[in-house]
Amino acid sequence: MDKLYLRGGRPLFGEVRVSGSKNAVLPIIAACLLPISPCILHDIPDLADVHTICLVLQHLGARINRQGKTLEIIPTAKPNTEAPYEFVRQMRASFLVMGPLLARAGLADISLPGGCAIGSRPVDLHLKGFHALGAHIEHGYGSIRVKTGLGGLWGKRIYLDFPSVGATENIMMAAVLAEGQTIIENAAEEPEIVDLANFLGAMGAKIKGAGTKVVRITGVRELHGATHTVIPDRIEAGTFLIAGAITGGNILVSNVISDHVKPVLAKLREMGITVYEECGGLRVIGPEKFSAVDVKTMPYPGFPTDMQPQMMALMTCAKGTSIITETVFENRFMHVGELKRMGAQIKTVGRNAVIQGPVKLSGAPVKATDLRAGAALVLAGLCSQGITEVSNVYHIERGYEHLVEKLQGLGADIWGTDI
Ligand SMILES: CC(=O)N[C@H]1[C@@H](OP(=O)(O)OP(=O)(O)OC[C@H]2O[C@@H](n3ccc(=O)[nH]c3=O)[C@H](O)[C@@H]2O)O[C@H](CO)[C@@H](O)[C@@H]1O
Ligand SMILES: C=C(OP(=O)(O)O)C(=O)O
């Protein structure tokens, strides 16, 4: 899809089902390089990022069959060990094949992901972990080559300077086949880590403490294939909750684990928005008026950085002054300029954004600068006067399955065009 168009001002009604989680499924697909037999994965969303990670696995030698929302991944005994820039530049999460390749093949040569719109996003913590497990690390021409020494990987105690989601996942996947016990301290606690650990456990891995700050992995000789259903996408769920609230609608968001969206629910309620659990989902009722709130993004269980742009869109319609402090990524305010083009009153100072509301947003041509920035513009468009035109829709397609159809199903006046 090239561009999205929205005619705002319609309250949303009805029910929307949340898809499988993008951020859970990407490491889980990478983990399918580890076992000696095939894996079956259910509730796999139809997303650009999922297609990319599947291409990476196929390039590495795995065979993949897709039937609807189910994937069968058949690993190869001798994987290719190189993931070139052509894949990694499309999606940073391609770097997550490094841990599984290192564990399974003793070698991985992966292009460096480089920075992106939201920050520089280094991979030093991933490499620090692999080094601690005994891997040699060589920096090549735009790529990193990691190799096990004689005797393979050895379990170690690894302290992460920051609870990085990707580093925790990559190190966990390398450690499952290492000799002895690995302890990751200050590990990320995100639900996606728990989902990956559950999948690895189903393959025969021994992991304790996933979802807490200390993860203990006892290496095993080999892993076998497993069947797994991916958790619902908590960021997509949060985005739809805001869509209901910002339009003054009344919608049921189904297939959501309410515990995973707790920090978002807390802020919505603080703003005076009604959200409650109802059989199989969360109902949100958007009041005519709601109040400003302050939000600080933090690693889980704090408020997710991946919901910050969407929350900012909501804050433009809240009465009073809201402040957002972005602590996870150093450059995640690219949507501010675009929201201001729609009439939002926002000032940024360093990692803080001050949002003055309520304003009546008006439709404008705007550009999605990254995935969640794009989602924020769609939300703003849903409550704007006139027509909003969103370009660079490919960012949104990385992480929202059938967004146009889902919003149309709730009564939104939204449509897309192809080039
Ligand atoms: C595919 C996926 O799951 N993506 C999510 C994952 O990204 P990702 O795994 O890349 O995010 P991290 O948790 O690793 O990054 C958090 C912070 O740590 C820094 N850092 C990270 C690794 C490292 O080696 N060195 C370092 O300094 C990053 O630059 C960033 O400032 O978690 C982020 C934080 O919740 C989410 O926004 C992303 O949607
Ligand atoms: C930042 C995100 O994803 P990624 O880490 O894949 O860039 C996101 O999902 O908002």
Q: What domains can be seen in the chain, in order of their start residue?
A: 3-18+232-417 (3.65.10.10), 22-229 (3.65.10.10)
Q: Which residues are catalytic?
A: 116
The confidence score (pLDDT) of residue 216 equals: 98
> What is the mean predicted confidence (pLDDT) over 306-312?
98
- Note the pTM of the prediction, 2 decimals: 0.98
User: What's the gap in Å between 165 CA and the centre of ligand 1?
Assistant: 6
Task: Please check if 306 is assigned to a binding site.
Answer: yes
Kindly state if the Cβ of 175 falls inside 6 Å of ligand 2. Answer: no
| Tens digit of each residue's pLDDT (9 = 90 or more) over 179-217 | 999 999 999 999 999 999 999 999 999 999 999 999 999
Ligand whose nearest atom lies closest to the CA of 330: 1
- Provide ipTM, 2 decimals: 0.99
| Contact between 19 and 406 (Cβ < 8 Å) | no
Ligand whose nearest atom lies closest to the CA of 164: 1
Q: Which residues of 283-322 are buried (b: 16+ CB within 10 A; e: fewer)?
A: bbebeeebebbebebebbeebbbbbbbbbbbbbbbbeeeb
Kindly state if the Cβ of 306 falls inside 6 Å of ligand 2. Answer: yes
Specify the range with the lowest mean pLDDT, choosing from 103-117, 219-233, 331-345. 103-117
Kindly state if the Cβ of 144 falls inside 6 Å of ligand 1. Answer: no
Kindly state if the Cβ of 94 falls inside 6 Å of ligand 1. Answer: no
State the number of CA atoms in the 13 A half-sphere of 270 facing the CB: 14
User: What's the gap in Å between 164 CA and the centre of ligand 1?
Assistant: 5
C-alpha span between 288 and 301 (Å, rounded): 30
50 class by beta-carbon count within 10 Å (0-12 exposed, 13-18 middle, 19+ buried): buried
The confidence score (pLDDT) of residue 116 equals: 82
Residue nearest to ligand 1 atom 5, measured at CA: 23
Task: Please check if 214 is assigned to a binding site.
Answer: no
User: What's the gap in Å between 13 CA and the centre of ligand 2?
Assistant: 28
| Contact between 4 and 389 (Cβ < 8 Å) | yes
